[in-house]
């Protein structure tokens, strides 16, 4: 099946919205973690790690948004939508948990919470944009 240019453009729009939404959430949680000193003793917070984590967050948000658009299509199944958010949360969190510096259960819970909130915000942003016809779901 050949995708049309319009479908590709919609995927890119969804991905950019997802990357922006996830980046904003990640930036806010990073500021919150720094302000409350939640992860500073657990995670190495040099500029390279922060840049890599932020880039990983942007890429995760982009890929989630593109995938979410294909997952939901024309379906109005809340379980499918929630499952997509939880699946991406588990994948992203398991990658972050594998870091050798995250052995503290509080740090693991915070990282999982950040991912869950980030993907939930991306989902809400996409649903909001689709409800206003700024973005169209993938047509089956």
Kindly tell me if the per-residue pLDDT of 98 is higher than 90.
Answer: no
pLDDT band at 42 (very low <50, low <70, confident <90, very high): very low
Q: Is the residue at 78 inside a domain?
A: yes
Q: Is the residue at 96 inside a domain?
A: yes
Burial of 16 (0-12, 13-18, 19+ CB in 10 A): middle
Q: What is the mean pLDDT of residues 95-114?
A: 74
Q: Given this model, what pLDDT does residue 41 score?
A: 47
Q: Is the residue at 33 inside a domain?
A: yes
Q: Is the residue at 98 inside a domain?
A: yes
Summary mean pLDDT of the chain: 84
Kindly tell me if the per-residue pLDDT of 124 is higher than 60.
Answer: yes
Q: What is the mean pLDDT of residues 98-127?
A: 84
Q: What is the mean pLDDT of residues 13-25?
A: 96
Q: What is the mean pLDDT of residues 128-140?
A: 89
Name the residue with higher pLDDT: 83 or 74: 83
Kindly tell me if the per-residue pLDDT of 4 is higher than 90.
Answer: no
| Cβ density class 127-140: b for 16+ within 10 Å, e for less | eebbeeeebbbbee
Q: Is the residue at 18 inside a domain?
A: yes
List Cβ neighbours of 115 (8 Å cut-off, separation of 6 or more): 60, 88, 89, 92, 93, 96
Name the residue with higher pLDDT: 50 or 41: 50
Q: Is the residue at 30 inside a domain?
A: yes
Helix boundaries (H) for the chain: 5-36, 47-72, 78-97, 105-131
Q: What is the pTM of this model?
A: 0.85
Kindly tell me if the per-residue pLDDT of 40 is higher than 60.
Answer: no
Q: Is the residue at 61 inside a domain?
A: yes
Name the residue with higher pLDDT: 139 or 98: 139
Q: Is the residue at 44 inside a domain?
A: yes
Give me the domain span that covers residue 94. Answer: 5-131
Is there a contact between 64 and 18 (Cβ–Cβ < 8 Å)? yes
């Amino acid at each position: 099946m050949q995708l049309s240019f319009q479908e590709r453009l919609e995927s890119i729009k969804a991905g950019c919205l997802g990357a922006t939404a996830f980046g904003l959430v990640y930036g806010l949680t990073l500021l919150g973690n720094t302000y409350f000193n939640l992860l500073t003793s657990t995670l190495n917070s040099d500029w390279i790690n922060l840049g890599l984590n932020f880039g990983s967050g942007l890429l995760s948000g982009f890929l989630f948004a593109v995938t979410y658009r294909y997952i939901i299509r024309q379906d109005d199944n809340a379980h499918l939508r929630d499952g997509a958010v939880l699946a991406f949360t588990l994948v992203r969190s398991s990658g972050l948990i594998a870091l050798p510096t995250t052995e503290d259960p509080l740090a693991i819970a915070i990282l999982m919470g950040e991912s869950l909130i980030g993907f939930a915000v991306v989902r809400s942003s996409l649903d909001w944009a689709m409800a206003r016809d700024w973005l169209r779901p993938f047509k089956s």
